């Protein structure tokens, strides 16, 4: 599978082949699970993995994460993913991957990008269930008023991730010049 992912209807989804942890500067421990296809899950909370023992995180996942948390622009384009979701979720997650480092989009802007201009709430829901935050950068989506909006990992983490990328805030609002409105 490519980074474009598969729908939940796929009969033969690759099983989890490994899981491990990554220490993220400023965020603490990230939990990762992967298959032979690619990264399946990244979580701020412990994963419920069927595998008993953690393994070293493969360099194909850990090196881009290290660069990212060192403050180097990283688009994660070379990270193989095993994205699983509905057709709409996959379209949203792929649109998120197109948002450049240090920039944000609105929920409405992402809805436009996936040819569903009235689906702002559905975009928010797809962000909420994103199985691979950071790599699929749902933290780069903000409300129309440039406020942070929601984030499954907590608003403090969302702001920290955006600040790591150089996004500037004033009283919780993204400052102009870092946003493209569709």
Parallel, antiparallel, or unpaired for β 105-106 and 84-85?
unpaired
Distance CA 170, CA 41 (A): 32
Active site residues: 138
């Amino acid at each position: 599978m490519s980074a474009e992912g598969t729908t939940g209807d796929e009969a033969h989804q690759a099983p989890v082949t490994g899981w491990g942890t990554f220490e993220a500067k400023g965020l603490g421990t990230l939990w990762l699970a992967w298959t032979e296809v690619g990264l399946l899950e990244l979580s701020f909370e412990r994963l419920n993995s069927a595998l008993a023992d953690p393994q070293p995180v493969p360099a194909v996942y850990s090196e881009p994460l290290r660069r990212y948390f060192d403050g180097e622009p990283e688009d994660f384009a070379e990270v193989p993913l095993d994205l699983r979701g509905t057709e709409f979720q996959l379209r949203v997650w792929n649109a998120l991957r197109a948002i450049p480092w240090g920039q944000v989009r609105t929920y409405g802007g992402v809805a436009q990008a996936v040819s569903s201009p009235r689906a702002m709430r559905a975009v928010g829901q797809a962000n909420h269930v994103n199985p691979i935050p950071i790599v699929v950068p749902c933290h780069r989506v903000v409300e129309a008023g440039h406020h942070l909006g929601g984030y499954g990992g907590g608003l403090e983490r969302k702001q920290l991730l955006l600040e790591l990328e150089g996004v500037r805030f004033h009283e919780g609002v993204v400052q102009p010049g870092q946003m493209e409105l569709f």
